[in-house]
Structure 1
Amino acid sequence: MSHASLDTVDNAAKTPDVEQPWKELGLKEDEYARVREILGRRPTGAELAMYSVMWSEHCSYKSSKVHLRQFGAKVPKNDAMLVGIGENAGVVDVGEGYAVTFKVESHNHPSYVEPYQGAATGVGGIVRDIIAMGARPVAVVDPLRMGAADHPDTKRVLPGVVAGIGGYGNSLGLPNIGGELVFDACYQGNPLVNAGAIGVMRHEDIHLAKASGSGNKIILYGARTGGDGIGGASILASETFDATKPSKRPAVQVGDPFQEKLLIECTLEAFAEKLVVGIQDLGAAGLSCATSELASNGSGGMRVELDDVPLRDSTLSPEEILMSESQERMCAVVEEAKVERFLAICEKWDVIATVVGEVTDGDRLEIFWHGEKIVDVDPRTVAHEGPVYERPYARPDWQDALQADDAARLPRPADAQELRAQVLKLVSSPNQASKAWVTDQYDRFVQGNTVLAQPEDTGMVRINEETGLGVALANDGNGRFAKLDPYTGAQLALAEAYRNVAASGARPLAVSDCLNFGSPEDPAVMWQFAEAVRGIADGCLQLGTPVTGGNVSLYNQTGEAAIHPTPVVSVLGVIDDVARRTPMAFAEDGQLLYLLGDTREEFGGSAWSQAIHDHLGGLPPAVDLDREKLLGEILVSASRDGMIDAAHDLSDGGLIQAVTESCLRGGNGARLIVPDGLDAFTFLFSESAGRAVVSVPRSEEMRFTDMCKVRGLPATRIGVVDGDVIEVQGEFTLPLEELRSVHEGAIPALFA
């Protein structure tokens, strides 16, 4: 943009009738009118760019805010909560003076457009959120949802996404300890790439995103600003995909993990020397977000000289500089006396750093270009006072018919031979098969602190070598359950993640979530969203686990076809000594197998109904959160006191899936006996919640069963670890080698 045609604040006041591209930038007509009302004039081009990205669905949560308030209103903070909703990531106290920050975010739309860079920059972005809190990142996770496993486009998207996650995370030297991979045709045009990270710090090292102290300098450091990702995550994730609108598929950001590694070390060294007053990473909405959020959260105003921003492309207009989502950039607020030292640390790590502005006495965010003022706004109106929509929502008219189409009526195996065949078909189906083809592309053990990683129930890392203190993280979600009943489905995701953490021996402590849904402009989708949020809030209240933060991803929809409602819930747990963790492998012959919890005829949305009949209908399993809490307490106590040697939660695929995974993991078979009152089919395939299978040393049997009896948890002896086959007495025998061949061969056959 030439100097002569620069759209300054003065010019905007004098030319109220200039046509502006508010619609192309994703603003609605009434939103544009509101911007004019706030400013008392039309916005400049630069101001319009800032409001459009910051008021996008992705950045402002304008359709979801009214429902998300329940997380603050309903769910009490426990003593462990140090930083809650509203910051870059939540922070909890895990003991011994350590604090842990964790969060999961979506990078769904960019990953469909450009799978490698979309997924890679998703990892980079979540890691910067963790650094911005003052923590050293110690691990990443990646819950994924893809289209049908045999669809040609899945062969384009999945390998690219996996290579992007591995390429970025492995280069950063961060272990990938957990996640999921689910295939379903509903994700065909809208795959879900959710990326999570965990970071560790001392209590006194927590940093927040605020610009305070008049005269303090604003330093932009990291990569140069380029034209990649302009309006990328922010606008791309605020629209449904529509092939007729190429403008809705803007450039996907490009990542450089080696630059990010330098950024991590440089930032942590600056933190260690107490050089930073406030800090913000540059992710979605780039410099627009960093400047407005820092100023809005602080006690003064801010003046920024946009000419001083280091560029990769000298032709960028000020609007493009403000909207660019170039990766590996951070913004720090530094006292004037410490600027020299901060810049010296950046130089040491070969990180470009530039003073681009300062904190002012006023309450305005002012941005200058070529000496002319192009932005003059109240930063709160950009960052925190955007539109709030109470979108209409209504239970869809097809919900009753879906729930009435009961999976219990599907044909069941006629004899033992058919039962055996269905077990093989289930464990080799894409969703139940081994995901080693994916996880083997990730480094799970770099840094040497990983004690549990995929395919275990939870990822676990040691954070103190002296004491063995560790944290565990599990991510779970089941879009099929949520489609049948979003309230119950969301609670089942919470319950499963809680159960997975407890099964490893860690005590569940706090929750984060990533809520993936279709278009909020569809009342049926908004109903699903409202119900899921209500379910998680009510569930966290009952379990006593606070929600520390999260992410909402809407518009996961192509035309009229929305994805299944997919709330992904992450539960963080703490374990006093990782040496006492419980793995899932049945590792010792002669140990006794116990089924904990109640098994009922619950097949709605089950893996069996999908793998055998390609059916979705009925009601999901019932949720009993008091039972989940009791089961969790017993699993943690039994682990701590050495009463169990292995544990595996029962979820997708029921008992036979869990036993197959534990047998293959440990290289030992199992002889199973169908308990009285159950038929073999229900025993093997039911997906009743609140259950786990454990292996108990014979010397501990009485102590373990007494504990379960006193606490009122059903514990049924169902067999013994033995041999090299899985035998269901009176029904069939399956050699482990046959199971291993079909379980581990399915995904490579599709993608290798």
Structure 2
Amino acid sequence: MSLADSDRELVVDELGRDPTRAEAALFENLWSEHCAYRSSRPLLGAFDSEGDQVVVGPGDDAAVVALPDPSGDGYSDTYITLGVESHNHPSYVDPFDGAATGVGGIVRDTMSMGAYPIALADSLYFGEFAEPRSAARRTKSDDVDREHSRYLFEGVVEGISHYGNCIGVPTVAGSVDFHPDYEGNPLVNVACVGLTDADRMVTAEAQEPGNKLVLVGNATGRDGLGGASFASEDLSEDAETEDRPAVQVGDPYSEKLLVEANEVLVEERLVQSARDLGAAGLGGASSELVAKGGLGAEIELDRVHQREPNMNALEILLAESQERMCYEVRPGDVDRVQEIAERFDLGCSVIGEVTDGNYVCTFEGEDGERETVVDAPAEFLGDGAPMNDLPAEEPPEPAVDRPDVPLREAYESVVGSPTTASKRWVYRQYDHEVGVRTSVLPGDDAALVAIRETEDEDGVGTGLAISAGADPLWTECAPYDGARAVALENATNLAAKGATPLAAVDCLNGGNPEKPDVYGGFKGIVDGLADMCADLSVPVVGGNVSLYNDSPSGPIPPTPTVAMVGTKAGYDAPPMAAAEEGELLLVGDRSLGGDDGAQPLGGSEYLARNGGSDEFPALPADPESFVAALAAVADADHVQATHDVSHGGLAVALAEMVHEDAGLRVALPEQGGLGSQREQTGLLFNEQPGRVLVQTTDPDAVREAFVGVAPVASIGEGTNDGRLELTTFWTELTYDAAEIADLRSVIADTME
């Protein structure tokens, strides 16, 4: 760890002296890209974070959003919390502990708002672990270590499942994508939803001088030292060995005790403010806590309970040991807090108090003398870092080079791709029903969990739908429009289950921002995400930025993970699986609304698997009306199944609906000028967002609901034979459910 010369000059000017060793290290971590968002904060003002439902927006450990009142009049006093974090670099160095501690951190962020964690969603991105996707990528893919990708993939999934299962928080949603540019730097983005109310809510803003600062949880060790700095640098070739000390080690059993102890502390109104000990450890949590309240603190570092001998002041201050919380507590409540900590077999230290002065840390040395190791304004520590003004290059327009591939070969290459394949191997390792709230399980467009705390006079509570993910092919092709598509796809996932979008958080992942082309792509995903969420009237209430996801193999694609929630009355939703009878409608495909030809294939799995490039498809002109109409239609009694059309296009969506008990008979329409083989291939494989398949017994009602909003075309019907029969004007494909399942089992086949 070392403080940059330009930053040191600012610190010296502010303090009027050279910083101590501990101060220099604390500034270096708190002013890092990971903590201070020096390169991204100038862009984040593009997001609209306001709304009547928003109780606490960006800047706290997690956002707080009010749920709609069951009466239909405004919003209730029942709140959910939303947070998302990345643990990318640690998951490369140590996939199991890196991913596990990412779960632990986002759960503690939830707890610090006075909320009980009720659901997790993980979005994971890895390098190739199967054969090259296409001849166009083969040169690059020849150098990819697929065995290493499998090692990372297996370790990350195991770490998430172990930690989440042990603490009893269900993992209900998420995504998994594979792309060669993640080989040297995988992404692990984890979101958490919590439940609280107006009386229980806590924030990370210190309240009053004289209150005590109490550290509760595991003892402090030397693990995770410099984690914030490590997360703000490109990964080096020897990161797996050299950077291992910067990775934290998790203990889910202690976390479970901490979750329950936190619940008692909140219920008994013993917490005035709280902060999770994450990046920059105690120094980060305690200084940010008091800075938000415009206050200071006096902390005696040697009072911190420790698990390793002879720890010095810097180690105690910056270690990122897990399962720890910092609480502001009234002096008269300290004894009760200690009793509760002892009851749950947790460590507890009264480490100092809130003041109206500077942020001061002292330490008793070996000679018995107490030394002041930090004495700086808390607000300067938290907000004094200068922002970066970086050049950005616009991404080039993709060339138009659409390959002609025989239909069966193309279909099987796309449906059998790891990115579009079944993710059952992943989510079957997660306990997604613990807590008995999960109504719609993983594997559907969105999860649905029950919020019984909002039941109306008829006993109908609120269903909370959760969707999370991105698509690196989209944002690699077109950062701005690809990010818009990511936001729309998540909203479509919610609406397909009958839910109206309520709020979103984002995890913005990019490469080295000092490279103008990389920063240009990152700026594109920020603007695109912000614009589409505004178009959807979905406030972006919080998030996370992870830059310097760069390695010797190159930068990652700009990756804007979105975790979005929506609400509906009740806990029922139409399934994704096809029914034996009923007409199948394709809603929202612009090429069927009178335009000439199919949408472009840019960003599609078809091109990734078969080579070529193309423009990104056009998005709907009124996405908010489309989402609202879909949410209303999905809850209608005549609707038998709904399924978002996105990754892999119509080809994959149809395959995902077929099962042993019901099949689909589909004929690609020739309307909209789709009279050629190339155009119908484009209809099958383009990935234009804002489309959905609806199976219904009343197609006229669906058409009426989308008049003036989106085109609706009948493309087939349900059957009772468990087969997919796909007819184009020049050929026909037929697969039974077992053959489709075999095509889509590439992840399980590879890993098992």
Q: Give the TM-score normalised by the residue count of structure 2.
A: 0.91
Query: Is 1:676 aligned with 2:670?
Result: yes
Q: Which residue of 2 aligns with 1:14?
A: none
Q: Which residue of 1 aligns with 2:421?
A: 433
Q: Which residue of 1 aligns with 2:376?
A: 377
Q: Which residue of 2 aligns with 1:154?
A: 149
**1:309 CA displacement:** 0.3
- Structure 2, gaps ≥5 residues long: 70-76, 131-145, 454-458, 592-597
What is the RMSD computed on CA atoms of the aligned residues?
1.7
Query: Is 1:95 aligned with 2:68?
Result: yes
Q: Which residue of 1 aligns with 2:685?
A: 685
Q: Which residue of 2 aligns with 1:11?
A: none
Query: Is 1:29 aligned with 2:5?
Result: yes
Residues 11-26 of structure 1 mapped to structure 2, 5 A cutoff: 25-26=1-2
Alignment equivalent of 2:717, drawn from 717, 720, 737? 720
Query: Is 1:314 aligned with 2:309?
Result: yes
Q: Distance in 2 between matches of 1:680 and 1:95?
A: 43
Q: Distance in 2 between matches of 1:751 and 1:560?
A: 24
Query: Is 1:241 aligned with 2:235?
Result: yes
Alignment deviations for residues 172-221 of structure 1 (CA, whole Å, 9 cap, x no partner)? 11111111111111000000111111101112222111222121110000
**1:243 CA displacement:** 2.6
Q: Which residue of 1 aligns with 2:198?
A: 203
Q: Distance in 1 between matches of 2:180 and 2:17?
A: 48
- SS of residue paired to 1:70: coil
* Kept after mapping to 2: 8 A contact 1:149/1:184: no
Q: Distance in 1 between matches of 2:641 and 2:284?
A: 47
Query: Is 1:522 aligned with 2:515?
Result: yes
Identity of aligned residues (%): 38
* Kept after mapping to 1: 8 A contact 2:297/2:355: yes
Residues 319-718 of structure 1 mapped to structure 2, 5 A cutoff: 319-370=314-365, 371-395=370-394, 399-400=396-397, 403-404=398-399, 406-407=400-401, 409-413=402-406, 419-464=407-452, 466-559=459-552, 561-579=554-572, 581-586=573-578, 588-597=579-588, 598-599=590-591, 600-611=598-609, 613-615=610-612, 617-624=613-620, 626=622, 628-664=623-659, 667-677=661-671, 678=674, 679-696=679-696, 698=697, 700-709=698-707, 711-718=708-715
**Which deviates more from structure 2 when the two are superposed, residues 469-478 or residues 136-145?**
469-478
**1:440 CA displacement:** 1.0
**Aligned AA for 1:724?**
G
* Kept after mapping to 1: 8 A contact 2:301/2:361: no
**1:326 CA displacement:** 0.4
Alignment deviations for residues 682-737 of structure 1 (CA, whole Å, 9 cap, x no partner)? 332122222100111x2x3333322223x442111111110221112363242323
**Aligned AA for 2:318?**
M
Query: Is 1:740 aligned with 2:736?
Result: no
Q: Which residue of 2 aligns with 1:41?
A: 17
Alignment deviations for residues 506-554 of structure 1 (CA, whole Å, 9 cap, x no partner)? 1001111011100011111111111211111222222111110111111
Alignment equivalent of 1:163, drawn from 135, 158, 183? 158
Alignment equivalent of 1:111, drawn from 91, 99, 118? 91
* Kept after mapping to 2: 8 A contact 1:240/1:556: yes
- SS of residue paired to 2:520: helix
* Kept after mapping to 2: 8 A contact 1:631/1:691: no
- SS of residue paired to 2:484: helix
Q: Distance in 1 between matches of 2:153 and 2:706?
A: 43
Q: Which residue of 2 aligns with 1:285?
A: 280
Q: Give the TM-score normalised by the residue count of structure 1.
A: 0.91
* Kept after mapping to 2: 8 A contact 1:495/1:625: no
**1:738 CA displacement:** 4.0
**1:299 CA displacement:** 4.1
**Aligned AA for 1:41?**
R
* Kept after mapping to 1: 8 A contact 2:35/2:279: yes
**1:107 CA displacement:** 0.3
**1:560 CA displacement:** 6.9
**Aligned AA for 1:412?**
V
Alignment deviations for residues 366-422 of structure 1 (CA, whole Å, 9 cap, x no partner)? 4443422111110111112222111122225xx24xx12x24x21232xxxxx1332
- SS of residue paired to 2:467: strand
* Kept after mapping to 1: 8 A contact 2:415/2:744: no
Q: Distance in 1 between matches of 2:234 and 2:311?
A: 28
Alignment deviations for residues 643-685 of structure 1 (CA, whole Å, 9 cap, x no partner)? 3121111111111211110113x74110012213225423321
- Structure 1, gaps ≥5 residues long: 1-24, 414-418
- SS of residue paired to 1:160: helix
Change (3 A) 1:504 1:367: farther
- SS of residue paired to 1:313: coil
Change (3 A) 1:46 1:427: same
**Which deviates more from structure 2 when the two are superposed, residues 561-570 or residues 244-253?**
244-253
Change (3 A) 1:596 1:493: same
**1:248 CA displacement:** 5.0
Alignment equivalent of 1:186, drawn from 162, 165, 181? 181
**Aligned AA for 2:185?**
N
Change (3 A) 1:76 1:386: closer
**1:252 CA displacement:** 1.1
- SS of residue paired to 2:577: coil
- SS of residue paired to 2:716: strand
**1:247 CA displacement:** 5.2
Size of the aligned set, in residue pairs, is 704
* Kept after mapping to 1: 8 A contact 2:626/2:709: no
Alignment deviations for residues 76-116 of structure 1 (CA, whole Å, 9 cap, x no partner)? 61211111011111111113431111122110000000000
